[in-house]
Amino acid sequence: MKKILVINGPNLNMLGIREPDIYGKQDFAALEEYIRASARELSLSVSLFQSNHEGEIVDIIQSAYGLYDGIVINPAAYTHTSVAILDALKAVGIPTVEVHLSDINSREEFRKHSFVSIIAVKTICGLGFEGYRKALEYFS
């Protein structure tokens, strides 16, 4: 069974509260359950991680080396700012799928640039929770 690490970045723990017109009304616990259920259906093993801190995200990526077959990451705001997360993903060399709940390409200009897209094998935007399932399907 393939092992996939799912990483969620800053403010995703505020789903259902933060801008529900953009990110939806379901909370973070619902997202995590959706990911777990999708992984079971696809016969994947998943580990879930969320942090509001860039260094913790870098640490979890580095600790994934040699342990995981793939990474699904929603770097959230760090998408547009974090060379450190990009460098960590490059360092471990684990195939990575980038996910965004909203369509970052149709939002503010600064959201259209993603450092993670440089290394990602695939980027999925604007599908809400379904984007995570599509990302997991890549590894199934």
Q: Is the confidence at residue 18, as pLDDT, over 70? A: yes
Residue 131: give the domain boundaries: 3-139
Element (H, E) at 5: strand 3-8
How far apart CA 1 and CA 60 sit, in angstroms, is 21
Q: Residue 4 has what DSSP assignment?
A: E
The per-residue pLDDT of the chain, averaged, comes to: 93
Model pLDDT, residue 25: 84
Residue 51 has pLDDT above 70, yes or no: yes
Catalytic residue ranges: 23, 100
* pLDDT exceeds 80 at position 106: no
b/e sequence 100-125, b meaning 16+ C-beta within 10 Å: bbbebeeeeeebeebbbeebbeebbb
The CATH number for 70's domain is: 3.40.50.9100
Alpha-carbon span 11 to 37, nearest angstrom: 22
How many domains, the chain? 1
Sorting pLDDT into bands at 50, 70 and 90, what band is 102? confident
Q: Compute φ and ψ for 17, nearest 5 degrees.
A: -110, -50
CA 104 – CA 28 distance, rounded (Å): 19
